[in-house]
Amino acid sequence: MLDVSEIQTIDTDVMVVGAGGAGLRAAIECSAQGLKTGVISKSLLGKAHTVMAEGGMAAAMGNVDKRDNWKVHFRDTMRGGKFLNVWRMAELHARQAPDRVRELEEWGAVFDRTKEGLISQRNFGGHRYPRLAHVGDRTGLELIRSLQDHGIHQGIDFHMECAALELLKDGDRVAGVLAYWRETGRFVVFKSKAVILCTGGGGKAWPVTSNSWEYTGDGIAMAFDAGAELMDLEFTQFHPTGMVWPLSVRGILVTEGVRGDGGILKNNKGERFMFNYISERFAPETADTEAEAQRWLEGDKNARRPPELLTRDEVARAITAEVKAGRGSPHGGVFLDIASRRPAEFIKSRLPSMYHQFKELAEVDITKDPMEVGPTLHYFMGGIRVDADSQETTVPGLFAAGECAAGLHGANRLGGNSLSDLIVFGRLAGVGAAKYIEGLESSPKASDEQITGGVRRATEILNREKGANPYVLHGKLHEVMAKGVGIVRKQEELETAIEELEELKTEAKTLKAPGASQYNPGWHEALAMRSLLITSEAVTRAALMREESRGAHTRLDFPGESAEWVKYNVIIKRGADGAMEIEKRAKPEGPAALVAIANAKIEDLEAGKVGADV
Amino acid sequence: MAKRSFRVWRGDAKGGEFETFEVEVDSGMVVLDVLHRIQERNANDLAIRWNCKAGKCGSCSMEINGKPRLSCMTRMNIFEEHETITVQPLKTFPVIKDLVTDVSWNYRQNKRIRRFKPKAPEADGTRRMYQEDVERSQEFRKCIECYLCQNVCHVLRDRDGKNDFVGPRFMIRVASLEMHPLDTEDRIPELRKEYGSSLCNITRCCTEVCPEHIGITDNGIIPMKERVVDRYFDPIAMLGRKLFGIRKRTKSQAEGGEP
């Protein structure tokens, strides 16, 4: 029998799980609030997927176009999210993002500048004005490095290559995290009064994804197991432009900045097809001729935006339709062309890493030839349900921020709203955790049984004589999700996927990782399968329940947005028997002032006829 | 599709040896893809560190046919058709297992460097900087911390000088701060006395391996060395200090004067 006293134990006030932008910002805030703060990350510090964010972070600073302000940003976010966003989160985000960006500058970030010496801002899909603070096309790296270099001087304990297994609880409230060191395979118990999950999404359930190995839905699964509510997981964003060739890089992101800087989409007939896919909602604000789109590119402020800059869900569906109609590129995508639109020097200075990525991985010179691109699973809008102001989940002491939390983005996230999400809500989670801890009368304590149970579940995989290969099982999951829960969905396929997921869950009970526990990727893969399967099941069940097409969730059998369904969230939680309980729950109505802004004509909002009182 | 021979170093801190794998390689693959295929089919427990697979995170550094490289950016078609590919961990850092090394020393160096200390904002609350003034610092901030430069630095690799020199990565980290238009901190004394700036003898090996093509030596290390020389070895300044008690030059003066 395992003796708990032999397991390494670290005491702290708050544990942050994940060291991407949200985790680092949350930890910095916790530390500033006087809390003893620990951070664990599966990778080394500074390697989280935040580094892959390219285009920028959205904040209505109005440095490039003075007409911009938080209300326009809020309106764009709600419309991009097809009105399923949590009103208060969209408001907080739009209001606070500018201060968070300026704060990064105070911590050493070096953004690209305007001629006046201010932080430059670029155009992006769904944002009415140039709004994305950026550094070339490596903004995520700048964000994570700035937080990292600031954070290491804040007295935070960083534990690298340490992966969380389970949340520990004392009664209803959270009591810490059970984790293991990847290097040695040894277990460690972090006893803490609060836990902040900043674990990102679960893109690795799909074969074509921009996500790295880390994105296995760990936070979503751990929160589910701990009894927290999940929300709106059916909304999985397929970014319209991932690389499609060579096969080995299929899915790697091609920044929306290419289109923001003038890139256009063409089919194999050379047609600029996005003009055929302008939806009613965006028609008044989108150019309907190439001539007008060209004037916009040349800086005419009265010209409307080109249709390539429609929201990601719309562009991804258009590309899928073109390919399906036989008008795709040789490797099953479409063409993204900036070479014919901008001089080579402009492209190299604005999009340096895209230039290198294509040159080195696909042998394509994007200053001369078009790129081949297609949709790639990129982002989870849904996730753990949180309180908008404190980021607390429905489990006391458990908080969530960033991609693993639901609410800000509704049914579809605008590009650039993720990096700003991380710093706005990372900070609020830190404030929320501090308030929670201040109100605690006694420290929570996890039972020994929880710890030994978690350790046993993890080590069984190593100790089995023989069993299923974790990589093979992961491959099977890819097939199920690609076939049944892709960019367009329908009832029978989703039902089949649920059945197949049940089979995979059974098979997962027999996983075997050969070798010892020391830095053993096969074992790590097997442990991640548990999170992936819970996350995949939640996405699939939610997708089956929502009988409409909204944002990133498209149902062939229920085309179009339903006036009824916008009033509901899909909530999932663990039932008494461990099975998933799913509920269609009424979504709280927004405050009248915010509803008015979101629904206002842009002219009325800008003239102050609407929203002047907020 | 073709079969290729891969010799992969397997082992840990106690020692190890090369193991040979015959692997199917598809067109367009990079070395990391092949290693993943080995991991999936032949050796589930083969330890590799990787993340973004697009040359942006700097996790998958290793030595491939003797050259330090990012395995995610090393295409298979750069090798001869029948060439055996030998893959081993970075030599400069202690092995944990297989292709994974302990790079924590680098994180400790970063922590030694004095943090960014900005000047006060302007009256309207902003901090103006101009593009031409931030470009020098931005070049160094492209660094993805792959530590390939640290791996090939002679001081660190051949002379085990980890106690004396922070290495090229952190020389340019210091440079990125010293050349930051808003920074008011002075790191020149540490650069000379603690970070070992004089130990670099400018062989430019670090610059050659940088996957981000940062001018580590010419744009970062040499200017930093010059600032040390200006501060400590300029005879006129030394005389001035001795005779008239003139204080050592501050950073802003060395920059050529800023408003």
Cα Rg of chain B, angstroms: 22
Closest CB to A360 among B47, B55, B141? B55
Average pLDDT, chain A: 96
Q: Token pair of B77, please?
A: 């078609």
From edge to edge, which strands make up the β-sheet containing A371-380? A236-243, A371-380, A334-337, A264-266
Report d(CA A141, CA A268) in Å as an integer: 35
Q: Is the pLDDT of residue A589 over 70?
A: yes
Between strands A14-17 and A194-197, the pairing is parallel
Cα-based angle A441, A442, A444 (whole degrees, multiple of 5) = 135
Sequence-ordered list of residues with C-beta below 8 angstroms from that of B65, at least 6 positions apart, any chain: B79, B83, B85, B86
Looking at per-residue pLDDT, the higher value among A612 and B154 belongs to: B154
Q: Is the pLDDT of residue B253 over 60?
A: no
Looking at per-residue pLDDT, the higher value among A521 and B252 belongs to: A521
Contact B44 A49 (CB under 8 A): no
Q: Which residues of A touch B48 (CB under 8 A)?
A: 521
A106 touches chain B (CB under 8 A): yes
Q: Which residues of A touch B137 (CB under 8 A)?
A: 110
Residue A396 burial class via C-beta count within 10 angstroms: exposed 0-12, middle 13-18, buried 19 and up:
middle
Residue A3 burial class via C-beta count within 10 angstroms: exposed 0-12, middle 13-18, buried 19 and up:
exposed
Residue A518 burial class via C-beta count within 10 angstroms: exposed 0-12, middle 13-18, buried 19 and up:
middle
Q: Token pair of B81, please?
A: 């058709």
In chain B, DSSP assigns E strands to 2-12, 15-25, 61-64, 67-70, 85-88, 95-97, 100-101
Q: State pLDDT tens for residues A334-387.
A: 999 999 999 999 999 889 889 999 998 999 999 999 999 999 999 999 999 999
Assign A70 a pLDDT band (cuts: 50, 70, 90): very high
State percent of chain A over pLDDT 90.
93
Contact A117 B128 (CB under 8 A): yes
Contact A110 B138 (CB under 8 A): yes
- What local confidence, expressed as pLDDT, does residue A353 receive? 86
Q: Which residues of B touch A117 (CB under 8 A)?
A: 128-130
Q: Token pair of A111, please?
A: 């953004």
Active site residue A239: yes
d(CA A326, nearest CA chain B) in Å:
24
Q: Count other Cβ atoms within 10 Å, centred on residue A558.
A: 18
Task: Return the residue of A nearest to B146 by Cα.
Answer: A47
Phi first, then psi: what are they for B15, rounded to 5°? Answer: 135, 175
CB interface of A with B, residues 425-464, below 8 Å? none
HSE at residue A53, side-chain half, CA atoms within 13 A, is 32
- What local confidence, expressed as pLDDT, does residue B245 receive? 65
Q: Which residues of B touch A118 (CB under 8 A)?
A: 126, 128
Q: Which residues of B touch A183 (CB under 8 A)?
A: 96-97, 102
In A171-211, DSSP assigns E strands to 173-181, 187-191, 194-197
Cα-based angle A467, A457, A159 (whole degrees, multiple of 5) = 115
Residue type, B77: N
Report d(CA A219, CA A221) in Å as an integer: 5
Determine the straight-line distance between the first and last CA of chain B, rounded to whole angstroms. 62
d(CA B50, nearest CA chain A) in Å:
8
Cα-based angle A551, A399, A206 (whole degrees, multiple of 5) = 40
Q: Which residues of B touch A59 (CB under 8 A)?
A: none
Phi first, then psi: what are they for A527, rounded to 5°? Answer: -65, -35
Phi first, then psi: what are they for A81, rounded to 5°? Answer: -85, 5
Report d(CA A404, CA B82) in Å as an integer: 46
- What local confidence, expressed as pLDDT, does residue A1 receive? 60
Between strands B61-64 and B85-88, the pairing is antiparallel
d(CA A423, nearest CA chain B) in Å:
19
Active site residue A474: no
Q: Is the pLDDT of residue B256 over 60?
A: no
Q: Is the pLDDT of residue A324 over 60?
A: yes
Report d(CA A170, CA A193) in Å as an integer: 10
Phi first, then psi: what are they for B5, rounded to 5°? Answer: -95, 125
* Active-site residue, selected from the candidate residues A79, A127, A239, A550: A239
Q: Decide if the complex's ipTM is over 0.95.
A: no
Q: Summarize the confidence of residues B51-57 as an average pLDDT.
A: 92
Q: Is the pLDDT of residue A117 over 60?
A: yes
Contact B30 A361 (CB under 8 A): yes
Running DSSP on this structure, what letter comes out for residue A591? P
Report d(CA A447, CA A450) in Å as an integer: 6
Q: Is the pLDDT of residue B258 over 50?
A: no
Closest CB to A117 among B49, B130, B177? B130
Running DSSP on this structure, what letter comes out for residue A284? G
* Active-site residue, selected from the candidate residues A73, A127, A182, A259: A259
Contact A521 B145 (CB under 8 A): no
Contact yes or no for A231/A569 (Cβ under 8 A): yes
Report d(CA A18, CA A26) in Å as an integer: 10
Phi first, then psi: what are they for B211, rounded to 5°? Answer: -70, -15
Contact yes or no for A399/A43 (Cβ under 8 A): no
Q: What is the per-residue DSSP string for B172-218? A: HHHHHHHT-TTB----HHHHHHTS-GGG-----HHHHH-TT---III
Quick check: pTM over 0.90? yes
Q: State pLDDT tens for residues A386-415.
A: 999 999 999 999 999 999 999 999 999 999
Closest CA to A55 of A323, A273, A460, A354: A354
Report d(CA A428, CA A439) in Å as an integer: 17
Assign A43 a pLDDT band (cuts: 50, 70, 90): very high
Task: Return the residue of B nearest to A160 by Cα.
Answer: B104
Report d(CA A578, CA A598) in Å as an integer: 40
Instruction: Give the distance from CA A472 to its chain's centroid.
Output: 26
Q: State pLDDT tens for residues A184-239.
A: 999 999 999 999 999 999 999 999 999 999 999 999 999 999 999 999 999 999 99
Q: Token pair of A251, please?
A: 């899915």
